[in-house]
């Protein structure tokens, strides 16, 4: 239903972005490929462009609409397959890295970022210029991830335990709609106004763009809250004999929200396999006994604490310890405090970091699958996940973090696999499908939905939601040119399941003539 990029289209791209910033080179197109991290499936783009500003983005979208060419935006590209075209033809890949501006307003405690601003760069600028403030960069993503890419994905930042998902930090967006129109949300909608009030003059459409993974509009600027950066910090960890033992005490720490809970900016944990699978499976002890001797519990939770003074830090540590002691008695279990070497603490406090990169060492490749569930249900989810991973022959590496004072959990299995093994991608897909079906029935939600498994399975259940989503999408993007396949739109491009909107009319299933959109001139 889409057209391919022709020489004529390339000429038009060159006229908009300049020769230097457009390529159809086969090797360069392959160089953007990725199969892993968040998404295993991706197809090759036909042309790559690197626009310089919102105006160029807008002109490209107008032209793409006229020619019915798909467009996929990418910032850091660290979501792997998710930042690549999902379906054929691959169309135009819009590499946003040239737009990497940052403006900081410490009075209003907000920063305005462009899509190309990398976490590592943001961190450096804040360290040298605004040491009393921190940008909410993703907690464990490598430094090339962007602040904006993470917000679009509603990821988890270094202060997610207190402030919620990254998208909750948004104060306003500048979005180029697929028709070429530029929209500003929040108080920013009023010309000259600062981005100080998220909800703006009327109903706020932000949510349509956050979590759309680039399929509703291309964000060219985002106003994002910055957070205070006190310099009394530490990390404390407690072990446990089960997932329950790490989830329940965390709830006790978090539920009051104020006081000690507000100092626990990042609360995350998992099982001992999180340590094991960061090494090659041929060059590391595989038996838990070795880790036990090192003093490591089978399960553990880390609390990263930020405080304004040593007294405050000590008080927080003491209170957490008391909560654990009380829990041990109540639950008749053991939750020993884990010894952390000062180097381990320093490495955990380092942001952004490379902690999560080496899971490919275990074999050769990994996939993060990210789910949300109510905090207290996360232990059950992790138990089920681990059992299934073992059944499928994957090491049961499991990670969990508290979102917004333990209101929700992000549960993330790390599926370590050998990407050179024939059939491995099918096997992972099967595993993903089986767990997704089961988890959806239990009311849990994948929040970075894979276009081929999670999105169709979820929307097959949430039919009315999908219908509404398609309506919004068609208003914003009448020709469905933006990141097609994402969020299972168009449905038939990604799944054979029955379309929640009903059978498409013959005229809709094959778009032969583009709808002339009301495009910005």
Ligand X SMILES: Cc1cc2nc3c(=O)[nH]c(=O)nc-3n(C[C@H](O)[C@H](O)[C@H](O)COP(=O)(O)OP(=O)(O)OC[C@H]3O[C@@H](n4cnc5c(N)ncnc54)[C@H](O)[C@@H]3O)c2cc1C
Binding site for ligand X (CB under 6 A): 37, 72-79, 82-83, 96, 115, 138-142, 145-146, 149-150, 152-153, 155-156, 213-214, 218-219, 356-357, 483
Nearest distance, CB of residue 36 and other proteins, angstroms:
5
Q: Give alpha helix (H) positions in 156-287.
A: 160-163, 206-209, 243-254, 260-263, 273-276
The DSSP bridge partners found for residue 411 are: 371, 400
Element (H, E) at 344: helix 342-349
Residue 280 binds: one of other proteins, ligand X, none (C-beta under 5 to 8 A by kind): other proteins
Cα 286 to Cα 277: distance, rounded to the nearest angstrom? 9
Residue with Cβ nearer other proteins (30 or 471): 30
Enumerate residues 6+ apart whose C-beta is below 8 A from 425.
35, 40, 41
Tell me how far apart the alpha carbons of residues 521 and 266 are, in angstroms, rounded to a whole number.
46
Specify the residue, 153 or 174, whose C-beta has the smaller distance to other proteins. 153
Nearer to ligand X, 110 or 117 (CB): 117
* Structure tokens, 430: 């099967």
Cis peptide bond N-terminal to 156, omega within 30: no
Return the one option of ligand X, other proteins, none that residue 27 interacts with (CB less than 5 to 8 A, by type).
Answer: other proteins
Q: Which of residues 378-437 bind other proteins (CB under 8 A)?
A: 418-420
103 binds other proteins (CB under 8 A): no
Write the DSSP string, 78-124. Answer: TTBGGGS--SSS--EEEE-TT---EEEETTTTEEEE-TT-BHHHHHH
Strand partners, 401: 268, 410
**Which one, 149 or 244, has the nearer CB to ligand X?**
149
150 binds, among other proteins, ligand X, none (CB under 5 to 8 A by kind): ligand X
Q: How far is the CB of 194 from ligand X (least distance, A)?
A: 22
Provide the mask over 206-245, with x wherever binding to other proteins is found by CB under 8 A and - wherever it is not: ----------------------------------------
Binding mask 247-276 for other proteins (x = CB under 8 A): ----------------------------x-
- 50 vs 454 by CB, closer to other proteins: 50
- Going by their DSSP bridges, the two strands 110-113 and 218-225 should be labelled as antiparallel
Among 124, 231, 255, 318, binds other proteins (CB under 8 A): 124
User: Rounded to whole angstroms, what are the CA distances from 69 to 29, 64, 202, 336?
Assistant: 16, 5, 33, 58
> Nearest-CB residue to ligand X?
155
Nearer Cβ to ligand X (153/244): 153
Q: Which of the residues 132 through 161 are near other proteins (CB under 8 A)?
A: 142-144
What residues contact 328, with CB distance under 8 A and at least 6 apart? 334, 335
In 3D space, the residue among 368, 430, 428, 432 whose CA is nearest the CA of residue 400 turns out to be 368
- The alpha-carbon radius of gyration of the chain (Å, integer) is 23
Taking residues 50 to 69 in sequence order and writing x for each that binds other proteins by CB under 8 A, - otherwise, the string is x-------------------
73 binds, among ligand X, other proteins, none (CB under 5 to 8 A by kind): ligand X
DSSP H helices, 108-205, are 119-129, 147-152, 160-163
Residue 123 contact, options other proteins, ligand X, none, Cβ 5-8 Å cut-off depending on partner type: other proteins
36 makes contact with other proteins (CB under 8 A): yes
Return phi, psi of residue 11, to 5°: -60, -40
CB of 185 to other proteins, least distance (A): 29
The interface partner of residue 456, options being ligand X, other proteins, none and the CB cut-off 5 to 8 Å by kind, is none
Closer Cβ to ligand X, 78 or 323, answer by number: 78
Output the smallest distance, CB 90 to ligand X, in A.
13
Residue 72 beta carbon to ligand X: minimum distance, rounded to whole angstroms: 6
* Listed ranges 105-113, 122-130, 229-237, 399-407: which one lies at the site for other proteins (CB under 8 A): 122-130
Residue 283 in the binding site for other proteins (CB under 8 A): yes
Considering CB distances under 5 to 8 angstroms, the limit depending on partner class, which of ligand X, other proteins, none binds residue 493? Answer: none
Give least dist CB 227 to ligand X, A: 16
Candidate segments 212-220, 315-323, 361-369, 439-447, binder of other proteins by CB under 8 A = 361-369
Q: Alpha carbon of 415 to those of 79, 248, 270: distances in Å?
A: 15, 25, 14
Q: What is the 3-state secondary structure (H, E, C) of 267-306?
A: EEEEECHHHHCCCCCCCCCCCHHHHHHCCCCCEEEEEEEE
CB of 201 to ligand X, least distance (A): 23
Contact 366, 80 (CB under 8 A): no
Query: Which helix (H) or strand (E) element contains residue 474?
Result: helix 463-476
CB of 78 to ligand X, least distance (A): 3
- Kindly state the smallest distance separating residue 283's Cβ from other proteins, in Å: 5
Residues 266, 264: Cα–Cα separation, whole Å: 6
Q: Would the CA dihedral through 189, 190, 191, 192 be positive or negative?
A: negative
Task: Tell the burial category of 258 from Cβ atoms under 10 Å away from its Cβ (0-12, 13-18, 19+).
Answer: exposed
How many angstroms separate the CA atoms of 194 and 396, rounded? 47
Among 7, 8, 19, 31, binds other proteins (CB under 8 A): 31
**Which positions touch other proteins (CB under 8 A)?**
23, 25-28, 30-34, 36-37, 44, 48, 50, 76-78, 80, 95, 120-121, 123-125, 127-129, 142-144, 275, 279-280, 282-285, 350-354, 357-358, 360-361, 364-366, 418-420
């Amino acid at each position: 239903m889409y057209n391919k990029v022709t020489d004529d289209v390339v000429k038009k791209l060159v006229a908009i972005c300049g020769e230097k910033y457009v390529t159809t080179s086969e090797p360069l197109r392959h160089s953007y490929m990725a199969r892993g991290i968040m998404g295993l499936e991706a197809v090759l783009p036909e042309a790559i462009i690197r626009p310089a500003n919102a105006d160029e983005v807008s002109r490209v979208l107008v032209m793409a609409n006229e020619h019915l060419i798909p467009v996929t935006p990418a910032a850091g590209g660290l979501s792997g397959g998710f930042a690549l075209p999902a379906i054929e033809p691959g169309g135009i890949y819009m590499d946003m890295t040239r737009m990497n501006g940052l403006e900081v307003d410490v009075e209003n405690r907000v920063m305005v970022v462009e899509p190309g601003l990398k976490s590592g760069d943001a961190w450096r600028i804040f360290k040298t210029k605004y040491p009393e403030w921190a940008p909410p960069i993703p907690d464990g993503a490598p430094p090339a991830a962007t602040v904006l890419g993470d917000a679009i994905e509603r990821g988890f930042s270094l202060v997610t335990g207190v402030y919620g998902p990254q998208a909750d930090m948004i104060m306003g967006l500048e979005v180029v709609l697929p028709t070429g129109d530029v929209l500003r949300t929040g108080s920013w909608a009023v010309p000259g106004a600062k981005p100080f009030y998220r909800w703006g003059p009327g109903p706020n459409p932000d949510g349509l763009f956050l979590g759309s993974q680039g399929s509703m509009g291309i964000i060219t600027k985002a106003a994002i809250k910055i957070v205070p950066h006190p310099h009394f910090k530490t990390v404390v960890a407690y072990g446990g004999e089960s997932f329950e033992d790490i989830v329940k005490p965390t709830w006790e720490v978090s539920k009051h929200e104020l006081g000690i809970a507000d100092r626990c900016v990042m609360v995350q944990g998992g099982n001992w396999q999180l340590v094991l699978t960061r090494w090659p499976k041929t060059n590391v002890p595989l038996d838990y006994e070795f880790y036990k001797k090192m003093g490591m519990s089978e399960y553990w939770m880390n609390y990263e604490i930020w405080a304004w003074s040593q007294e405050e830090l000590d008080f927080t540590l003491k209170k957490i310890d008391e909560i654990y002691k009380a829990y041990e008695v109540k639950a008749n279990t053991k939750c020993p405090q884990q010894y952390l070497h000062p180097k381990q603490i320093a490495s955990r406090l380092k942001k952004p970091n490379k902690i999560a990169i080496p899971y490919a060492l275990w074999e050769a490749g990994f996939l993060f699958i990210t789910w949300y569930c109510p905090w207290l249900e996360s232990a059950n989810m992790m138990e089920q996940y681990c059992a299934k991973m073992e059944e499928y022959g994957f090491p049961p590496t499991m990670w969990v973090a508290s979102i917004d004072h333990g209101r929700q959990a992000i549960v993330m299995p790390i599926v370590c696999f050998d990407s050179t093994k024939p059939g491995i991608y099918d096997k992972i897909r099967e595993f993903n499908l089986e767990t997704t079906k089961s988890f959806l029935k239990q009311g849990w939600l994948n929040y970075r939905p894979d276009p081929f498994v999670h999105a169709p399975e979820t929307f097959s259940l949430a039919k009315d939601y999908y219908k509404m989503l398609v309506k919004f999408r068609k208003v914003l993007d009448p020709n469905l040119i933006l990141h097609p396949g994402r969020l299972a739109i168009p449905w038939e491009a990604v799944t054979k399941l029955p379309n929640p909107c009903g059978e498409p009319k013959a005229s809709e299933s094959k778009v032969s003539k583009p709808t002339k959109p009301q495009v910005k001139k």
